[in-house]
Structure 1
Amino acid sequence: MGFDVDKIRAQYPALADGRAWLDGAAGTQVPEPVIEAISDAYRAGLSNVGGPYESSRRSSGIVAEARAAVADLVGAPDPACVTFGPSMTSLTYRFAGVLALGWNPGDEIVVTNLDHDANVRPWVQLAQRAGATVRTAEIDPATGELPVDDVVGLIGERTKLVAVTAASNVLGIMPDLKPITDRAREVGALSYVDGVQHCPHAHVRIADLGADFYATSAYKWAGPHLAAVVAADPWGLENLHPDKLKPSPESSPERFELGTNPFAAMAGVVAAVEHLADLDTDATGTRAERLAISREAVAAHEARLATRLFDGLAGVSGVRRHGAPQGPTTPTAFFSVQGKAPAEVSAALSERGLNVSAGHSYAWELVHALGIGPEGGVRASLSHYSTTEEVDRLLTALGELSA
């Protein structure tokens, strides 16, 4: 097998501590190639772009390489489609500010209560300021799934934007986006897709999703703390003019990036994408071709572990998994233990060497729609470096806690 989880894990220094790192949805650990790429960039010396010396040219090259790497990862047609920023939340506020400039009273936007609040609140706040109407697509509270027909039904001739997640950050549910984005395009609306939890677990092709904008965070796929919003084509950015400093670049995508880019972190992004492309050692060809093969191998590995996790949780008395998805999901489980607060469960699992998160995880509308409130639940989320043994450790510990 070209995908060898033990060899992959050996590249991650943090995993050597013996703990089970089951919190990938909150951020993955970083492999040696990424650590070295960041360190090497600093060792070689970096200067701001635009200078006539090697350190400045090195920074410019790193930025270009990072755009090309993310474009390969998500299937963008051109590196010029890729805008970088410190987080998905900050970038979404940035894009919301410019996209909302054309909104007027009577216009409409569509959001969902399956989404992380970062793909809800910026759009709602800007719509309220513009006097536009917000339409919210509701999940099925019994299953947690987002009925696609309901979302499509909210999109009309006055719709300006549809914001929807490609994968829930707590339930793992992956809605069928294409009917939604097709309908948005049909009425002349834009689609903004939150791919933060989708990108780490899927072979992404923006064209297949139909997204006009796709957001991803590198620290969810073994990279540094950096995010990107990727347009479906460069033209999608050319017609947008965000507020910026007068002497800042007029070119796109540079005009969307405030201040100096984190060049060393961008070197880490390049290394992370290369790492993902090489997870299946049998993968050959261009980076994009190797990514396609390796991402499929990751999906198969995670699917096996997810089945073990989901089936195991169903067999632990006193444990209730929130949502009952019937369609595709990421390897993420959101659950509660009878008689124990989520934070209490997370702390008890930590004492047993298991890293899982607890709370609402910023899925603010979703936890209320599920009827569990801001206390939220416990989230176990698997990654490409997760193992069967770690899943079994979690299930055993939960059995002890719920006994």
Structure 2
Amino acid sequence: MQPFDPTWVRSRFPALSQEIDGNIPVFFDGPGGSQVPGSVLDAMSRYLITSNANAHGAFATSHRTDECIASARTAVADLLGCGPDEVVFGANMTTLTFAFSRAIGRELRPGDEIVVTRLDHYANVSPWQALEEEVGAVVRVVDFHTEDCTLDMEDLKRQINAKTRVVAIGYASNTVGTVNDVAAVVRLAHAVGAWVFVDAVHYSAHGPIDVRALDCDFLTCSAYKFYGPHVGILYGKRQHLAQLRPYKLLPAPEEIPSRWETGTLNYESLAGLVATIDYLAELGRCVSLSERANRREALLTALEASRQYERELCEQLISGLSKISGLTLYGITDPARFAWRTPTVAIRLAGKTPYAIAKELGDRGIFTWHGNFYALGIAEKLNVEAGGGFLRIGLLAYNTREEIERLLQALQEIAASE
């Protein structure tokens, strides 16, 4: 093994070296969408030049599109640790979740219960809440601890009961970075016969995923959060994909998993998705110094190395933020517990709105997000929604210590200004 090399990583991302208004930008906006390697751009362009056709035709470019779809399913299977026939593509995670929640809703009876959490992005909350009106389901909401923004596991245990049919849970919070103990949640849910629907959109860039080990029933993610193009991904256990009836228009193919996909897929993005996963595998082989590692092994190595590097950056960031007067930091702050957080940090600064801080940072070439990030339950519980939510700083494996120092210096100056 060799040390994680951020210089090698950054050399793969053309956007990181561009100049905007006289500054080389710092991209701390990763939780809203990451930058992409040059190989992804090349793959998407190459598809549009050489293979641009609809699927299942009797000619060469259509055959190439069929091969692109198959390659994308196999690549995602390597990323998540599942079978290619357990991979469903869609426009985004929200659309896929809505469609599957409708299909699952057809199996529910009045009084059946669904458990969601106040820590989650509303894409994994609102579709389930809508089933209260549509089928008479009862939705229970699990709370979180305000002091460190971790899920209240005792409340979760109280909410899960013999009537529970679905538990919808985030792998990690896109606002405060908390990583949930998904494996423990799955065990609790399965003990009463409930399914578990995991939102891994935020987590997927920050650590390896093994759906077999988790034993979750469904898991969603979005490629644009882990260095890819805009395409939604859903893993579903094979038996569930076969058993459930898709919520879609006719005619619907009988093959799994394509029977779950609506309209024409974004084929050029699927080509880019394959290149994204191949980039991560290349990173893993560089770190492990093993050219013979298969793609799954290389992906696990890459994401574990990324996680360790990001943890070092997170320690530097949180240590520096804690020294800024008037700054409130939400979530886990003890480095000994950083295994249970991603390097995504939500803050507020006394006397400044999150938008005003984001604007001042943006004018300096440092890109961050402001608002509630569709995790309304967190913003309301922490009483910041009316004040504009949070400023969110999101680190990825292409960020550097020097960029963090640039951010901290800027925040010090902003905090000291009138």
With normalisation by structure 1, the TM-score equals: 0.97
Find the aligned partners of 2:162 and 2:278 in 1 and give their Cα distance.
43
2:311 is aligned to 303
2:409 is aligned to 396
Q: In the TM superposition, what are the counterparts of 1:169-318 in structure 2 within 5 Å? A: 169-231=174-236, 233-280=237-284, 281-283=286-288, 284=290, 285-318=293-326
By how many angstroms is 1:3 displaced?
Answer: 2.8
Please state if 1:71 is matched with 2:72: no
Answer whether contact 1:302 1:331 (CA < 8 A) is retained: yes
By how many angstroms is 1:46 displaced?
Answer: 2.0
1:165 is aligned to 170
Find the aligned partners of 2:64 and 2:153 in 1 and give their Cα distance.
46
Provide the secondary structure at the position in 2 that maps to 1:196: coil
What letter is aligned with 2:64?
A: R
Find the aligned partners of 1:32 and 1:246 in 2 and give their Cα distance.
39
* Alpha-carbon spacing, 1:96–1:118, altered in 2? closer, same or farther (3 Å): same
User: Unpaired segments of 5 or more residues in structure 1?
Assistant: none
Q: Which moved more, 1:216-225 or 1:138-147?
A: 138-147
Q: Which moved more, 1:316-325 or 1:94-103?
A: 316-325
Find the aligned partners of 2:109 and 2:247 in 1 and give their Cα distance.
19
By how many angstroms is 1:75 displaced?
Answer: 1.3
Find the aligned partners of 2:48 and 2:89 in 1 and give their Cα distance.
19
Please state if 1:120 is matched with 2:125: yes
What letter is aligned with 2:122?
A: D
1:347 is aligned to 359
1:80 is aligned to 85
Answer whether contact 1:152 1:179 (CA < 8 A) is retained: no
Find the aligned partners of 1:154 and 1:244 in 2 and give their Cα distance.
32
1:138 to 118, 136, 143: 143
2:21 is aligned to none
2:400 is aligned to 387
CA deviation vs aligned residue, 1:216-266 (integer Å, no higher than 9, x gap): 0000001000110111x3112100111333333121111111011111110
CA deviation vs aligned residue, 1:31-87 (integer Å, no higher than 9, x gap): 1000000000011032211111111110111101111111111111x1111110111
CA RMSD of aligned residues (A): 1.2
Answer whether contact 2:99 2:247 (CA < 8 A) is retained: no
Q: Which moved more, 1:125-134 or 1:78-87?
A: 125-134
Please state if 1:360 is matched with 2:372: yes
1:150 to 150, 155, 159: 155
Q: In the TM superposition, what are the counterparts of 1:303-342 in structure 2 within 5 Å? A: 303-324=311-332, 327=337, 328-342=340-354
By how many angstroms is 1:325 displaced?
Answer: 5.5
1:16 is aligned to 17
Find the aligned partners of 2:61 and 2:254 in 1 and give their Cα distance.
23
Report how many residues are paired. Answer: 401
Provide the secondary structure at the position in 2 that maps to 1:340: coil
What letter is aligned with 1:9?
A: R
Find the aligned partners of 1:391 and 1:307 in 2 and give their Cα distance.
11
Answer whether contact 1:127 1:134 (CA < 8 A) is retained: yes
Please state if 1:46 is matched with 2:58: no
Find the aligned partners of 2:271 and 2:123 in 1 and give their Cα distance.
26
Answer whether contact 2:177 2:331 (CA < 8 A) is retained: no
By how many angstroms is 1:187 displaced?
Answer: 1.1
User: Unpaired segments of 5 or more residues in structure 2?
Assistant: 19-23
With normalisation by structure 2, the TM-score equals: 0.94
Please state if 1:35 is matched with 2:36: no
By how many angstroms is 1:338 displaced?
Answer: 0.7
Q: Which moved more, 1:318-327 or 1:255-264?
A: 318-327
CA deviation vs aligned residue, 1:132-170 (integer Å, no higher than 9, x gap): 111100011222110223212211111110001010001
* Alpha-carbon spacing, 1:179–1:325, altered in 2? closer, same or farther (3 Å): farther
Find the aligned partners of 1:109 and 1:27 in 2 and give their Cα distance.
29
Provide the secondary structure at the position in 1 that maps to 2:106: helix
**Percent of residue pairs identical:** 37
Find the aligned partners of 2:52 and 2:252 in 1 and give their Cα distance.
20
Q: Which moved more, 1:175-184 or 1:210-219?
A: 175-184
CA deviation vs aligned residue, 1:161-195 (integer Å, no higher than 9, x gap): 00010100011000111221112111111100100
* Alpha-carbon spacing, 1:129–1:248, altered in 2? closer, same or farther (3 Å): closer
